[in-house]
Structure 1
Amino acid sequence: MISKLCNKIFQDAINDYHLHNNIDQPIHNTYKISTIEHLLYLKCWIDTVQWHMEDVVRNPEIDPVEGLQWKRRIDASNQERTDVVEYIDSYFLEEFKDIVPSATAKINSESPAWVIDRLSILALKVYHMGEESQRSDASEEHKQNCTVKLNILLNQQTDLSASLDDLMADIKSGEKYMKVYKQMKMYNDPSLNPVLYNPK
């Protein structure tokens, strides 16, 4: 089951990050570069680092210049995240290239990699909500509320994992087929963003 592999690697990446909990710590991805495991670990590592950058930039006391620097780092990270999603889809396109879809095959609203993207973010939500549900300096009400939310997130994780496995099974059987639309982001492209190609 692909979801089991994803959830294990995502948890490993999140735990590895929190050993030092430092945004600038180097990644230590021990999986072979050409493997899906390498891509999954990289994906979740990027998400984990970006999660903590998003926390920093929301400090109401942050210096505006510093805040802009963080915003640009987050933009760069988000582009990297999107690139890795496309690498994951490319991996699956290659894996499924010899499968002939049935005459009634349908396309899914999301490609496998974008479901995996959601699963990675969900793993981070579970981790951090779990932390909040056990915070020693928080009120009992806060911890109880976070426990309720954690249980919902865990249920969502179970459902999304099952949906991913079903999608992969349907693609392998030819009941569904993959169709990937490459990113069409415009704001990073100097030829498409009017602020960049026609600065005032």
Structure 2
Amino acid sequence: MIAYVKGDFVYKTPAVVHVDVHGVGYEVLISLNTFSSIEPLDKGLLHTFLHIREDAHILYGFYEVAEKELFIQLISVSGVGAGTARMMLSSMRPEEIVRAIVNGNAKQLEGIKGIGKKSAERIILELRDKLNKQSLAASVNILNTANNSLETDALNALVALGISRPNAELAVKKVIAAESGLEKIEDIIKKALKTL
């Protein structure tokens, strides 16, 4: 398995990037989400997934690990291929896809080209519990709910203390909404713990 490629981006389009790694050029298929992150860069690292088919070995690349993990979850669903998963990640941001799945919002998923009603329902049925329990939803939710580093750090600290992520998010949001001038992470954590 090729876990990642790191090198010069010698050719970039919204769908494909060629990465020169010490003289070896890798063709990597990417989503629009990844393209928007690497567009201004001349070189960098892409987390990869090698998809092996009978007729081809295809390398998919992702700027963030959370996007790669979501891609792997999506292709584990019966009837969702790598092309469809990449289309989903090009149509919506990873955190939007996770939120739609966790909230059971089939209509939102149906808005993606190639995803019909049955596919959307199957994705929700097969992934909802997994995403609720896994760190994937957690890492995406951090990006989503944290407007600043203090909030992110407080949220991570509460989860590390054993508090469930939804409860930790709720507590941190309450504290930040009630007192906007908090500047110390310790104060946010202490006040959040009191609300639990």
TM, length-normalised to structure 1: 0.25
Which has the larger share of strand? Answer: 2
Which has the larger share of helix? Answer: 1
TM, length-normalised to structure 2: 0.26
Higher relative contact order (CA 8 A, sep 6+): 1
